Chain A
Amino acid sequence: MTNTAVAMTAEALQAKRHARLVRVAGRMLLYVTVITLSFAFALPLLWMFVTALKDDPDVFRLPPVWIPRPIRWQNFAEALTIIPFGMHLLNTLKIAVPVVIGTVLSCSLVAYGFARIDFPGRTFLFFVCLATMMLPFQVRMIPLYIRFSVMGWLNSYRPLIVPAFFGGAYPIFLLRQFFMTIPQELSDAARIDGCSELMIFWRIVLPLAKPSLAVVGLFTFMGSWDNYLGPLIYLNDAKLYPLSVALRGFQSEFWEEHLWQYMMAASATTIAPVIVIFYVAQRTLVEGITVTGIKG
């Protein structure tokens, strides 16, 4: 009797130990996988950063050098002065800032209309708005190019900026989703007090929607920072190129002379603002991605 009891507890103990072992092994496996994969994913960017700090001979040393000696921070300063980096950066901002203002302004107005006013035809028009997301830019690209060319807008920032003031399907959709969550009672109360829709929009809904406006602003900024095809088509003069198009051109300067460290320094500098934005606004951005992603 006592013997079987002892045997049973021993068995139970062993089973418990076994279960713990499995759990520990599972945790280990999880951590090993995550750490290995994050190295694999981070590798190109790490390598970029390391290369950007290397002295010339280190760049081409095999096996690859991971800790540059000496560390040349001046690569950044040199790379950014050999090419007119500042000018292209300024060009990027000259496009991105008006585009952000135009997009936030026009899309919040339109999204307010779709989210908060029950007008006839609303459902249909909102469906049309969503449907335009399906339309490839390529279909619109050629006639727009021809039209802008006739209007003499080529080789200026107008083709890139002006359309932003007329809404865009994705930010409208995103803002509408946010505006829908603001309690209707707030608007109703304001209406009874004699507020016009524009005042409700400006005084009540917009202040409450600041985080979502930030999401749209940041996404638009990053999109504009990244935009390649647009400037490539509309701009011919290299002096007008934003960073996205100019960076490719640096190649002829750097790549052919095997100045990879400069190329990587310029690339790292192009990436930096986007990473800073993400770091500062991580939570807001992730929310923006998931709201439109899932509820769509």
Chain B
Amino acid sequence: MKRWSRQTTRSAINGYAFISPWLVGLALFTIYPIIASLYYSFTRYDIVREPRWIGLENYVTLATQDLIFRRVMGNTIYLVAVGVPAGIVVAYLLALLLNNEMKLRPMFRTIFFLPALVPAVAAAEVWRWVLNAQWGLINAWVKARGWPVIPFLSSEGWAKNTLILIHCWAQGQAMMVFLASLQDVPRSLYDAAEVDGANRLQRFWYVTVPMTTPAMLFLVITHLIGMFQYFTMGWLLTSGGPNFSTEFFSIYLYRNAFEYFKMGYASALSWVLFLIIMLFTVVTFRSSERWVYYGGS
């Protein structure tokens, strides 16, 4: 126990003074909305009339009656289960590639990073044009070979995968994180492994992979959180369609809140989303003790 002195009092006053903007923001823009949305989730509320308390009805409807929600959950799980690993693997492979000595490396790095910088709205328009069924670049090539046109955005089977593909295209940020992590692996470890007779593949598996697991943990968690909240690109390109095949959690939530004005129901959805994200984050953290290796410590 530290002794409370005048020094402590002074640093307490100073410390809280400095963080006060965040504390006020926390109360106004985080704690209040969380509590309020929990309250709204137990009500029926359309903004025009006062919220009416209905207990657990929203949650019960969600779990037992809402058939679209079932579809939405399936879509979201698919997006997370395929999109998160796909994005991370692409980022890792690109980083491995760029980790080799080569000419023009800064240029290649910029090219792979650039898509991550492109504002989502602009990226959506560019992809809409590239994937266009009639004149799009890819389908022009496909048609020239006499193959059937690929309905990237207009078929139920393709739409989700197309969005995942676009997600993989914009992995520049994750690639940079991996690249930095790869460059932090001490040379001496590779040299030692080589002396022990490890081949390239073994060196990759027993040196590179373990040493980059901290970066992997960080990216798995941020990507999980991000993918469960996936909204903008999906909203812009397919708006949930065709036939609800890209109706993801956040899109459905937005629709309930701002198209149907079911604020109570949307709040219940937001809490379910929150709990799911928390569950996945905690489970990932717990599991990390088994697969994340912190060099040195």
Partner-B contacts on A (CB < 8 A): 30-31, 33-34, 37-38, 41-45, 47-48, 51, 59-60, 62-64, 106-107, 109-110, 112-114, 117-120, 122, 125, 128-129, 132-147, 149, 163, 165-168, 172, 197, 201, 222, 225-226, 228-229, 233, 243-245, 247-248, 251, 255, 260, 263-264, 266-268, 270-271, 274-275, 278, 282, 286, 289-290, 293-294, 296
Contact = CB atoms under 8 A, between A and B. Distances in A.
A113 B169 contact: no
Interface in B8-43: 8, 11-12, 14-19, 21-26, 28-30, 32-34, 36-37, 40
B68 interface: no
Nearest to B15: A119
Given A128-B26, A144-B29, A149-B47, A110 B19 contact: yes
Contact of B125 (A106, A129, A145, A251): A251
Nearest 7 interchain pairs by C-beta: A166-B25, A119-B15, A113-B18, A293-B177, A167-B22, A143-B36, A290-B180
Given A45-B114, A110-B22, A166-B22, A229 B231 contact: yes
B253 interface: yes
Contact of B33 (A34, A125, A144, A233): A144
Chain B binding surface, main DSSP class: helix
Contacts of B117: 222, 271, 274-275, 278
B130 interface: yes
7 contacts: A117-B11, A119-B14, A136-B274, A140-B34, A143-B36, A264-B125, A289-B180
Contact of A134 (B21, B98, B124, B225): B225
Contacts of B119: 225-226, 243-244, 270-271, 274
Contacts of A48: 126, 129
B32 A135 contact: no
Contact of B102 (A31, A64, A119, A132): A31
A267 B126 CA distance: 7
Nearest to A225: B119
A167 B21 contact: yes
Contact of B114 (A120, A139, A144, A275): A275
Residue among B33, B100, B179, B225 with max Cβ neighbours from chain A (10 Å): B33
A129 B11 contact: no
B122 A139 contact: no
B173 interface: yes
A228 B129 contact: no
Contacts, number: 260
B228 interface: yes
B112 interface: yes
B267 A142 contact: yes
B176 interface: yes
Given A44-B126, A225-B119, A106 B12 contact: no
Contacts of B271: 139
B218 A296 contact: yes
Contacts of B184: 294
B266 interface: yes
Nearest to A282: B110
Contacts of A122: 15
Contact of A270 (B40, B121, B127, B236): B121
Contacts of A168: 25
Given A106-B21, A132-B30, A142-B37, 6 more contacts: A38-B112, A44-B169, A136-B274, A138-B270, A139-B37, A167-B25
Contacts of A243: 119, 121
A294 B94 contact: no
A270 B122 contact: yes
B18 A41 contact: no
Contacts of A222: 117
A136 B34 CA distance: 10
A60 B215 CA distance: 45
Given A132-B26, A166-B29, A118 B11 contact: yes
A140 B136 CA distance: 39
A44 B138 CA distance: 10
B278 interface: yes
B108 interface: yes
Nearest to B105: A34
A201 B36 CA distance: 36
Given A34-B108, A270-B122, A138 B129 contact: no
Contact of B236 (A38, A226, A248): A248
A50 B198 CA distance: 48
B273 A139 contact: yes
B84 interface: no
A143 B126 contact: no
B19 A125 contact: yes
B119 to A, nearest CB: 4
B194 to A, nearest CB: 15
Contacts of A125: 19, 23
B118 interface: yes
A245 B270 CA distance: 23
A172 B19 CA distance: 10
B52 interface: no
B137 A64 contact: yes
B258 interface: yes
Contacts of A167: 21-22, 25
